[in-house]
Amino acid sequence: MHSTFETAKQKLKTKNINLSHQRLKVLEYLTKNTCHPTVEQIFSDLQKDIPTLSKTTIYNTLRILTETGIVKAVKIDDKEIRYDIITENHGHFKCEGCGMILDFSIDTDSMIAEGLEEFVIKDKSVYFKGVCPSCLSKYK
Amino acid sequence: MHSTFETAKQKLKTKNINLSHQRLKVLEYLTKNTCHPTVEQIFSDLQKDIPTLSKTTIYNTLRILTETGIVKAVKIDDKEIRYDIITENHGHFKCEGCGMILDFSIDTDSMIAEGLEEFVIKDKSVYFKGVCPSCLSKYK
DNA sequence: AATTACAGTGTAATGATTACAACTTTGTAT
DNA sequence: ATACAAAGTTGTAATCATTACACTGTAATT
C-alpha cells in the first residue's frame, strides 16, 4: 500500500503536472501536518527550508492540488482558508472556545439529499460547531 | 402558528433587542427572500425603501441576527457570505456551472459524529457541490 | 431640559487572496 | 553544447468583502 504522499505524487504524474521542488515540499508538509494549516502556516514553516519561497507559490500550488482533488479547502473559519489532504470521508468540528478544528468520522456516502436525484454531486462538506470538552470544563 | 417573521420578532423581544425600523426591514427582507442573498443584495434592495441606509447597518444587523440564532451565515461560496433565515434542517447545494445555491432536505439531527460524544454541538452545516440538471444538459 | 444609552451612518483601515509582470529553471530540438 | 520555448517561481501591486471607529441622531428616563 502506498502512502498518502506517494498516491498524491502518482496522481499528479498522471495529470502531467510537474513535481517541482516547491510543490513536493507543500505536498509533503500537508501529509505530515494534517492539522488543517493556513497558507500563512505552510508558508512560514516551509520558508525555513526554502528561503526564497514566495507566498504566491503556496497559493498556486494549493490551487493545483485542490483542482486535482488531492487537497480540500476547509472553509469552516471566516478569515483564512485551511487546507486538508483528502484521505477518507470525514467532517470538521470547530470549537467556538479555543478555535481548534478536529476531524471526525462521518459517512457522507450514505447521506441522502432529497430533491437532488438529478444532480451530479462532486463534493460533500460537513461542518459542526460547538464547544470541546476542554473548553466546557473551563466554564464549570 | 406564527410566521417565520413573527417568531423571529418574538425571539428578539425576549432577548431585549430593539426592533428598530432597519432591523425589521432586514428581517422582513430575509423572510421574503430565501435565496441566500449577499450583503450587497440586501443593501441595494433595501436602499430603495430607506435612502439613508448604511451598509454597516446591514452588517451590524446580520451579526445580531446570527448571534441570536435567527439567521445563519452560508459560507459555501468563497468571496461573499450569504444569509439564510433558519427554518428547518437543510443543506445547501452549489452548482459549479451557474453558481446557483439550492436548499435540500437533510436530517442533520440523525447524523452521528463518531468521537464527538463529549462535545457540545451547537450547529451543523452541510454543503454539497456539483452540477445542476440545467448545466448538465448544456454539456451534452 | 438634561442625561444616558442605544442605533445608525460614513469613512478609513484591514487583510486574505488574486492579478500580473519579471525572472529563473527546466525541457527539447537543432 | 547552445538556443529556444514552455513551465514554474517570485515579488509587488491591486482587489474587495468585512471590520473598526468616530461621529451623529434618536429615544427613554429622570
Q: What is the pLDDT of residues B95-122, one digit of tens each?
A: 999 999 999 999 998 888 889 999 999 9
Q: Is the pTM of this model over 0.75?
A: yes
Q: Is the minimum CB–CB distance between B96 and chain A shorter than 8 Å?
A: yes
* Cβ neighbours of residue A112 closer than 8 Å, sequence gap 6 or more: B106
Chain B residues whose beta carbon lies within 8 Å of the beta carbon of residue A95? 119
Query: Residue A130 and residue B123: Cβ atoms within 8 Å?
Result: yes
Q: What is the pLDDT of residues B119-140, one digit of tens each?
A: 999 999 999 999 999 999 986 5
Residues B62-68, mean pLDDT to the nearest whole number: 95
Best probe of the A interface among B92, B128, B137, by most A CBs < 10 A, is B128
Query: Residue A126 and residue B124: Cβ atoms within 8 Å?
Result: yes
pLDDT given at position A87: 75
Task: Answer for A66: CB within 7 Å of strand C.
Answer: no
Chain B residues whose beta carbon lies within 8 Å of the beta carbon of residue A126? 111, 124-127
pLDDT given at position A140: 58
Please check the confidence at residue B86 and state whether its pLDDT lies above 90. Answer: no
Q: What is the pLDDT of residues B8-37, one digit of tens each?
A: 999 999 999 999 999 999 999 999 999 999
pLDDT given at position B4: 87
Query: Residue A127 and residue B124: Cβ atoms within 8 Å?
Result: yes
Sign of CA dihedral B27, B33, B39, B40: negative
Closest nucleotide to B54: CA versus each C1': C9
Q: Which of A129, A70, A62 is nearest to A95 (CA)?
A: A129
Q: Which residue has the cell 459517512?
A: A107
Ordered DSSP codes for B66-121? HHHTSEEEE--SSSS-EEEE--SSEEEEEETTT--EEEEE--GGG---BT-TTSEE
pLDDT given at position A114: 87
Task: Answer for A40: CB within 7 Å of strand C.
Answer: yes
- Residue ranges in chain A modelled with pLDDT below 50: none
Chain B closest-CA separation from residue A54 CA (Å): 23
Residues 67-106 of A with CB under 7 A from strand C: 79-81
